[in-house]
Structure 1
Amino acid sequence: MTLRDVQTVWGGSRLVRSRPLVETHHDVIFVPLTEGVDIVQDPRWGLFSRDGRLIEASGYFRGKEHRLVCHNHRTDLDINTLPVAPEEHYIYGGPIIYHFGHFLITSMARLWCLEQAPLTAPLLCHSHGPIPNWFHLPYRGQLWGACGIDQASFSTFDRPTRIRSITIPRVSLEEQNFVHAAYGRMCRRIGDALIGDTPIRDNSRPVYLSKHLMKGGVTKIGNEDEIISVFQDAGIDIIAPETLSFVDQIRLFRERRIIIGTPSSAFHMSAFSARANDIFCLLPNDLLNSNFLLIDKIANNKSRYLFSTKGFEAFSNSEGFSAYSIINSPREVAQELLDRIE
Structure 2
Amino acid sequence: MSTSSKPVAPLTPLQLPEPRIERVRNALVVPVQKGGRLPNGVFRSNGTFCEHSRTLLSQNRFTDIPDRPDRRGVMRISGRHVFGGVMRDHFGHFLLESLGRLWVFDHLDDPVDGVLFSPRRSGERLARFNPKYESLFDAMADEAAPLMINAPVVVEELLLPSPGFGHQGWITGTPQFRAAVQPRLATAFPAKGGPDIYLSRTRLAGVEKAVDKEQRIERLMARAGYEIFHPQDHDISTQIAQYRAARRVVGPDGSALHLAAWAVRPNAKVAVIQRRHREKTVQSFVNQFEAFGVADVRLLNPLVAKNQQGMKEAGEPAPLYFRLLSRQLQENGFL
Q: Distance in 2 between matches of 1:106 and 1:171?
A: 9
* 1:296 alignment counterpart: 290
Q: Distance in 2 between matches of 1:115 and 1:208?
A: 33
* 2:210 alignment counterpart: 220
Q: What TM-score results when the alignment is normalised by the length of structure 1?
A: 0.76
Match of 2:263 among 259, 267, 272: 272
> Would the aligned equivalents of 1:207 and 1:238 in 2 still touch at CA under 8 Å?
yes
Q: Distance in 1 between matches of 2:140 and 2:125?
A: 21
Query: Structure 1: which 5+ runs fail to align?
Result: 1-10, 319-323
List aligned pairs for 1:237-316, cutoff 5 A: 237-268=227-258, 269-284=260-275, 285=277, 287-289=279-281, 290-292=283-285, 293-308=287-302, 310-311=304-305, 313=309
Q: Deviations over 1:6-42 (max 9, x none)?
A: xxxxx85x699xx7211122343322224xx7xx964
Q: Distance in 2 between matches of 1:233 and 1:73?
A: 53
Q: What TM-score results when the alignment is normalised by the length of structure 2?
A: 0.78
CA-based RMSD: 3.3
List aligned pairs for 1:149-228, cutoff 5 A: 149-150=142-143, 153-178=145-170, 179-196=173-190, 203=195, 206-216=196-206, 219-228=209-218
* 1:321 alignment counterpart: none
* 2:103 alignment counterpart: 112
Q: Distance in 2 between matches of 1:218 and 1:47?
A: 36
Secondary structure of the residue that 1:190 maps to in structure 2? helix
> Would the aligned equivalents of 1:30 and 1:162 in 2 still touch at CA under 8 Å?
yes
**Alpha-carbon deviation of 1:84?**
4.0
- 2:116 counterpart of 1:124: yes
Q: Distance in 2 between matches of 1:156 and 1:184?
A: 26
| Amino acid in structure 2 at the alignment position of 1:57 | H
> Would the aligned equivalents of 1:31 and 1:159 in 2 still touch at CA under 8 Å?
yes
| Amino acid in structure 1 at the alignment position of 2:305 | G
Relative contact order (alpha carbons < 8 A, sep ≥ 6): 1 or 2 greater? 1
Q: Distance in 2 between matches of 1:109 and 1:217?
A: 30
Query: Structure 2: which 5+ runs fail to align?
Result: 1-12
Same amino acid, percent of matched pairs: 17
> Would the aligned equivalents of 1:207 and 1:236 in 2 still touch at CA under 8 Å?
yes
Q: Deviations over 1:307-342 (max 9, x none)?
A: 136436597873xxxxx4242432442243223225
* 1:133 alignment counterpart: 128
Number of matched residues?
309
